[in-house]
Structure 1
Amino acid sequence: MTISKVFVVGGTGNIGTALVKDLLERGVATTVLVRDPSKASKLFGDNEKLSVIQGDYTTLDVYKDNIVGHERLFFQVSDMNNMAKIKTTFAKIAYEAGVKQVVDVSSGSVSAPWRKNVIAAAHYYAEKNIYELPDRGYYVALRPTGFFSNHFFGDNKTVQFKGVLFGAEEPDHKTSWISPNDIAHLAANILTEPVEKHVDMVYDMTSVRASGNDRAAAISRVLGREIKYIQIPFGEAHKNFIDHAHMPHSMVYAFLESSNDYYPVNPGLATVLNREPETLEEWFTTNKNAFA
């Protein structure tokens, strides 16, 4: 079977980097649209299967010229304020150019009540707009919950220097998590399997439910020293996020508020991943140096 060419928007982010590396390892001809080609070069090196195009969300002429000849498009968009417009525009251009399948990193929050927060609303309208495009190809939405890598928003530093995890949730309140590596791997599987297999699927992506105490215990085992979870007031957690993750209030509030939502573990993930999902402890082990 000939593997389709894949166009990737967002290829130098956490998920995008893992995806592009996975596709290249599978021998897939991959094109990435990036602001800084030198960053792509550092991440991926020289590979005859890789094409690097300089551009961003605004350089639509560049995108239109280069999407031609690709059958698959993957995107992850970070601009929350303009997400629906950006994703809809990129998908529409892709379908008109002959792309048969679009794979989108959406959010588990789309499954929550309508307009619950800015994250849920942005992803909801992006999905809705793309799904309703006339004469489109297939559209697959991945709906992950909390990324393991959210621990880099400040938890890694408090573990390093104070031996603690801080959070607004009660110590034994379980929240929903997924590894970015699993998001990338599922995307790579979808992008290399027949488009008819995944049609217009939505994949909820929660692999583990873990509390603050659970996460502290996992880090403790990896580091070989005791790490404690300490509950702090919502306002203090809000300030810490803004100060250390440099996110706007709307995003921080959505992150903190959504920790009270219930997103169950998807028992079908191993089936579509073709392996078991990565555990929190495995992820902490791989990223041990960031917490040690």
Structure 2
Amino acid sequence: MAGVYVLGATGGIGKQVVTQLLEKGVATTVLVRDPSKAKSLFGENDKLNIVQGDYSNIDTFKNSIAGHERLFLLVHDMDNMPKIKTQFAEIAYEAGVKQVVDISSGSVSGPWRVSAITTAHYYSEKNIYELPNRGFYVALRPSAFFTNHFFGDHMTVKHKGAIFGAADPDQKASWISTTDIALLAVNCLTEPVEYHADGVYELTSARLSGNERAAALSNALGKQIKYIQIPFEDAHKQFMEHAHMPHHVVYGVLDGGLMPCPVNKGLSVVLHRKPETLEEWFAANKDAFV
């Protein structure tokens, strides 16, 4: 197959996508601000092409996208996301790219403009979908990441034996492993473009309450971990301090975190295995919590 071009290659999901593509022997180009960081992450590989640039380097992208069949699109800039994603997708399609795989958000499936996060992803999807003469467009819509537990929970578990949150202890929220997000992206990027076509995949593998997450942690660590409900103001402050995100994004994460994204029972079909459970994820990452 022709090559895959990756935006967002050095983040948690992007890193896994690039690593798996290279393991499959797929020619992969990454657009990164710091080539030395990409080299340290992925090592020397004849299939890897590193291009220095960022979202503002449109000409650099135009000059390097030709010859690629697929584009993986992951953008962290929430404020400028629709503009960035639309611009890069349009250039890619005009250059002959047959498929764009976009990391969107499960919140897009809910009410319109429920948060800043929803709005950014909604208009990104809408703009790309409505591009004239485009190729295939696959949207992956994950709910809360298991890795969100690294935004403070790992420290409170270490020092206080508890995780904290604003939600009621038995109120369920939607979750997914970033490992599953990356795997599905790679499957879409390497399987026939016609197979996934203009697919939309809702990525929620589990609906879990604070008490259930604490129980899963207790099982993984072999000691009692509690879930403690705190005021929204305190949860907001804690998330701001540990996630280093602006207020409007943090507020969207906390307020929208309880959106009832249902579990997608078809994930095993497109993952070609069962989704990773939170218990499995805690077991694999327990060193961060002890």
Structure-1-length-normalised TM-score: 0.98
Give the superposition deviation at 1:243: 2.0
Superposition deviation, residue 261 in structure 1: 1.4
Distance (Å, rounded) in 2 between the aligned partners of 1:4 and 1:223: 44
How many Å apart are 1:52 and its aligned residue? Answer: 0.7
Cα drift, residue 249 of structure 1: 1.3
Counterpart in the other structure of 2:165:
167
Letter in 1 for 2:174: S
1:31 is aligned, of 26, 29, 32, to: 29
Shift of 1:260: 2.6
Indicate whether 1:187 and 2:199 are aligned. no
Aligned equivalents of 1:73, 1:266: Cα separation in 2: 25
SS at match of 2:68: coil
Residue type of the alignment partner of 2:234 = E
- Report the Cα offset of residue 236 of structure 1: 1.1
Determine the C-alpha separation between the residues in 1 that align with 2:286 and 2:279. 10
Residue pairs, 1:143-292, within 5 angstroms? 143-292=141-290
How big is the alpha-carbon RMSD for the aligned residues of Structure 1 and Structure 2? 0.7
Distance 2:94 2:60 in 1: 15
* Distance in 2 between residues matched to 1:201 and 1:246, nearest whole Å: 32
TM-score, reference length from structure 2:
0.99
Q: Secondary structure at the match of 2:224?
A: coil
Aligned pair partner of 1:99 in 85, 97, 102: 97
How big is each residue's C-alpha offset from its partner over 1:121-165, in whole Å with a ceiling of 9 and x where there is no partner?
000000000000000000000000000011111111111111100
Counterpart pick for 1:57 among 41, 55, 58: 55
- Any gaps of 5 or more consecutive residues in structure 2? none
Identity value in percent? 65
Amino acid at match of 1:24: L
Q: Which moved more, 1:68-77 or 1:214-223?
A: 214-223
Q: Which runs of 4+ in 1 moved over 2 A?
A: none
Deviation at 1:285, TM superposition (A): 1.4
Does the Cα contact within 8 Å between 1:118 and 1:254 map onto a contact in 2? yes
- Tell me the distance in 1 between the aligned counterparts of 2:116 and 2:185: 24
Q: Which amino acid aligns with 2:190?
A: T
- Whole-angstrom CA distance in 2 between matches of 1:104 and 1:260: 23
The corresponding residue for 1:121 is: 119
Q: How far does the alpha carbon of each residue in 1:200-257 deviate from its partner, in whole angstroms, 9 at most, with x for none?
A: 1100000011111111111111111111000001111111111222221111111111
Which of 123, 131, 138 is residue 129 of structure 2 equivalent to? 131
Partner amino acid for 2:31?
L
Q: Distance in 1 between matches of 2:11 and 2:165?
A: 25
1:80–1:122: 8 Å Cα contact kept in structure 2? yes
> Is the Cα–Cα contact under 8 Å of residues 4 and 192 in structure 1 kept in the other structure?
no
**Aligned residues, how many?**
290
Q: Is the 8 A contact 2:153 2:164 kept in 1?
A: yes
Q: Is the 8 A contact 2:2 2:67 kept in 1?
A: no
Aligned to 2:71: 73
